[in-house]
Amino acid sequence: MKVRTLAALGLGISLPALLVVPGSGATAAVEPAPILDRPGYVASRYLDQKVSWKPCGEPELRVSCAKITAPRDWWSPAGRDDIQIAVSKVAPAKGTPRRVVFGNPGGPGGAGLGMAPFLAARPALAKDHLAVGFDPRGTGDSSNVTCQGAPGYTMDARDRDAGNLDLIAEATELTHPYCARQSRGLLPYVDTAQTVHDMDLIRHLLGFERIDYVGYSGGTWLGAYYQTFFPGHVGRFVLDSNTDFTRPWVDTFNAQPQAFERRFRQDFAPWAAKYHQQLKLGRTPRQVLRTYEQLRADLKKQPAVEEYLDGSVKISYDQNTLDNIVTGDLYTKRDFYSLAVDLAFLRDLSAAQTTGGPRAAQRKVDALSVDRQRQLVQRATRSTVGLSPIGRPFADDAEHATFTAVTCNDTEWPQGREYGERLSAQLGPQYPLLGWGMNENPCLSWDRPRRTLPTPTGEGLPTTLMVQSVHDPATNVSLALGAHSRYAGSRLITVTGEGDHGVYGGVNKCADRLVDAFLATGRAPADDTTCQGEGLPGPQMPHPDGGGDGAPLHRIAGFTRQVSGYLR
């Protein structure tokens, strides 16, 4: 069998390993783990494979899709345990592309085939770039992992009863065994190091020396690690809504409770109070928050279990469902109106059930139009459009399982229930929306493979352009500031007066102009730059599938739904 060194082909390098001790800020040299202590080898069957492209999605999107074959383990690729990676591309309408731009919507674990048509629609990229999306290993139309059957976190995280804490700990301990058994050997190899090698294989097969890149949310982590593993193949990289990719995952997730609470209290609640006459949630921000807390208590006491769409779907609204709706609608201001309408509906539904019983509540559902019922069902089962809070499920199990695998496999986490319960008790009173749930984390009891990732530093790389809104709920602005301070050659565009998660592509004209110029010409701002936010919209229903202006991650998800499933 012919083999070639990964290093010789740009498909792997040997790097010193550093271990960052969570929460300590200390960095200590460690014995390099096998995954990084030597170049690997790759069989020619991967590098010389013929890729068969076929149309996917509606013709006007001009998207082609294919599956490529990759080794399950890039550091032991001589075996036959292959996996499939789904890839999408859109070429310029005229001429031959001179550059290629990859995209990733985050998660980690978000399916990304929709990145190709999304990026191809950007005027700065449409003329010269081949736009590429892909579903990372573990998710979407690529080889999947699953945690089907794992117990999940159905308890109320605010309940500090010893028995409830025991149930949370048991769910944590059971997650890895379920995920490992159901994923048939793939779970240990779903991580960032493996995924960036998949990316570089795609680059090689497409025939480009360097890639440009747009990564959102968890995609900023992926992008920084691609730069670290493959510095010779790095073009113009844009990292939007940033994790702290210079620190372990635990640092990024520990910053979420404060950021979500800020977004809820400082952005949504004042907005809802401003439009009280229409929304009826409270005349002041304090009253809006009280409406949420009262509804949460009522749904915990008596969940609203109703049938929708002529009994074809049953939804149980309890305190956890409510919290998932709230957190899911804080990612973009375009969802504020939907959140307000849903809070008012659930308050009325709960009140009807309290005064008239389950039949009275069901009558309120039956009185809704079919379109409104369908909307409620879709919103109750939707996927997160960015970095999900730890312990909060996605609708798609493959996305959720990939999210868990990547975040738990990549970097070390404190092990044992004591750390999670201590963190929960510390953050819960300050940031109740997410803080109490910090012990609902599978990574605290995860059989992690022995691996040590290199620490991204940015040294020797072209300029990296970072974009960040100051009230981002999922990736706290403190993470971007920290990563930027430690990432050589980076430039930071800060969008003030803004809290959307995912900025480039319709949220802010100033930021779009700067990013477009960088992607089109390679010219980055000479210094860090601030753009002023454009304000919150009035109370209006957002466009279906995130169409129109704003909410780029919604639009990417919509494109992904349109082009997925053609390769199965």
Q: Is residue 165 part of a domain?
A: no
Q: Is residue 435 part of a domain?
A: no
Does residue 244 sit in the same domain as residue 292? no
**Alpha helix stretches (DSSP H) within 313-445:** 319-328, 336-356, 358-366, 370-380, 397-410, 417-427
Cα–Cα distance measured from residue 97 to residue 429, given in angstroms and rounded to the nearest whole number = 54
Q: Is residue 416 part of a domain?
A: no
Does residue 60 sit in the same domain as residue 192? yes
Q: Is residue 158 part of a domain?
A: no
Does residue 280 sit in the same domain as residue 247? no
The amino acid present at 292, given as its one-letter code, is Y
Residue 421 CA: distances (Å) to CA of 43, 416, 428: 47, 9, 10
Residue 423 CA: distances (Å) to CA of 217, 254, 418, 435: 24, 9, 9, 8
CB-based burial of residue 190 (10 Å sphere; 0-12 exposed, 13-18 middle, 19+ buried)? buried
The amino acid present at 270, given as its one-letter code, is P
Residues listed for the chain: 568
| Tokens encoding 372 | 């409104």
Does residue 58 sit in the same domain as residue 97? yes
Does residue 84 sit in the same domain as residue 199? yes
Q: Which of 364, 380, 396 is the last residue of a domain?
A: 380
Q: Which of 338, 364, 380 is the last residue of a domain?
A: 380
Does residue 245 sit in the same domain as residue 305? no
Q: Is residue 137 part of a domain?
A: yes
Does residue 250 sit in the same domain as residue 320? no
Q: So what's the pLDDT on residue 543? A: 60
Contact 47, 68 (CB under 8 A): no
The radius of gyration computed from the CA coordinates of the chain, to the nearest angstrom, equals: 23
Q: Is residue 169 part of a domain?
A: no
Does residue 243 sit in the same domain as residue 279? no
SS3 544: helix
Contact 391, 404 (CB under 8 A): no
pLDDT in tens, the chain (568 residues): 333 444 434 444 333 332 333 333 333 333 434 433 333 567 788 999 999 999 999 999 999 999 999 999 998 877 778 999 999 999 999 999 999 999 999 999 999 999 999 999 999 999 999 999 999 999 999 999 999 999 999 999 999 999 999 999 999 999 999 999 999 999 999 999 999 999 999 999 999 999 999 999 999 999 999 999 999 999 999 999 999 999 999 999 999 999 999 999 999 999 999 999 999 999 999 999 999 999 999 999 999 999 999 999 999 999 999 999 999 999 999 999 999 999 999 999 999 999 999 999 999 999 999 999 999 988 887 777 788 888 777 668 999 999 999 999 999 999 999 999 999 999 999 999 999 999 999 999 999 998 889 999 999 999 999 999 999 999 999 999 999 999 999 999 999 999 999 999 999 999 999 999 999 999 999 999 999 999 999 998 766 554 445 799 999 999 999 999 998 7
Q: Is residue 419 part of a domain?
A: no
Q: Which of 362, 380, 398 is the last residue of a domain?
A: 380
Q: So what's the pLDDT on residue 549? A: 55
Residue 300 CB contacts under 8 Å (≥ 6 apart), including other chains: 156, 318, 319
Structural domains counted in the chain: 2
CATH number of the domain bearing residue 32: 3.40.50.1820
β 41-43/27-29 pair status? unpaired
Does residue 243 sit in the same domain as residue 304? no
Q: Is residue 213 part of a domain?
A: yes
Q: Residue 327 is part of which domain span? A: 275-380
Q: So what's the pLDDT on residue 248? A: 97
Does residue 136 sit in the same domain as residue 28? yes
SS3 501: coil
Does residue 347 sit in the same domain as residue 308? yes
Strand residue runs (E) in 448-504: 464-469, 490-496
Give bridge partners of residue 225 from the DSSP assignment: none
Contact 492, 263 (CB under 8 A): no
Single pTM value for the model: 0.92
Does residue 84 sit in the same domain as residue 233? yes
